[in-house]
A = this chain, B = another copy of it.
């Protein structure tokens, strides 16, 4: 991106801010009225023409004002955006909302989503801890019927996953208990990722092993943990998005709701953000959410990244306000999870 002189920057910033506030195209006169740059509308127009040439602005039609393009927003976020930190009062209030003691993981996540969307007035997303990186705490088997077996897996953070598997051999409850005892001893404190690797190694080493119990335990736990569990996503406050003027037309509404309904796009997006640290902002066609932006952050406990949360809003959302909310929320959730795990 070419350098912009100070005047251009000021004007771009003014346009972006005005547009964020009004959702309407911004005209040259409006700018001179609302900000006192000591410039005439005509001069502002010249600058605006330049900014349009650079692809930072565009006008919906000849006689409307300008609106920032995606590139314009990107520039704004990269170089002009100043995120003010939350005030202590706000922080305190947020902390107060996060009294999760005695709630189970799913409910916590849902509640976090609600709070996020409530604060931001946009849609809140929370992706629950990725299965592969959770830390093993306990595994239990429950016999159902026809050799079908319910496997219940509990992570250190109290996340419960369950899965039905087929066990060919007819194991009785007694044997199952032995097996789960064995596994609980053996796998304690490892992440699922590590458990998988360990199992794989052992399976190879002990192919010819005569220890029946161990053999069965290995094959059972393999079956239980082999395939990736689909990430679970909680979406809250989609209807708030429908209040935004950019989604006021029926077609846009339908598109938006369909997107939120499928969840797949959102999961991919949050997955992508998983690798990075801190708050991330995805804009527009970056993501498959036309006209939207996503502000996301990971949460984690001491053992590493666990999940991601964020806010989806219109591209012109109030970044300076939402970014710190997302950031602080992610930190709070991380702390809660640490506390729970300890």
> Which bucket holds chain A's interface residue count?
35 or more
With a cutoff of 8 Å between Cβ atoms, the chain B residues found around residue A281 in the complex are none
Q: Which of A98-148 contact B (CB under 8 A)?
A: 102-104, 137-138, 140, 142, 144-145, 148
- Copies of the polypeptide in the assembly: 2
The reply to whether B242 and A254 contact each other, CB–CB distance below 8 Å, is yes
When each residue 277-296 of chain A gets 1 if its CB lies under 8 Å from chain B and 0 otherwise, what string results?
Answer: 00000000000000000000
When each residue 159-183 of chain A gets 1 if its CB lies under 8 Å from chain B and 0 otherwise, what string results?
Answer: 0101111100000000000000000
The reply to whether B154 and A160 contact each other, CB–CB distance below 8 Å, is no
The reply to whether B150 and A142 contact each other, CB–CB distance below 8 Å, is no
**A158 and B154 in contact, given A142-B137, A254-B242, A342-B145 (Cβ under 8 angstroms):** no
CB distance from A280 to the nearest CB of B (A): 26
A144, A249, A258: residue with the most chain B Cβ atoms closer than 10 Å? A144
With a cutoff of 8 Å between Cβ atoms, the chain B residues found around residue A142 in the complex are 137-138, 154
Q: Is A248 an interface residue (CB 8 A)?
A: yes
Residues of A within 8 A of B (CB): 102-104, 137-138, 140, 142, 144-145, 148, 150, 152, 154, 158, 160, 162-166, 237-239, 242-243, 248-250, 253-254, 257-258, 261, 340-342
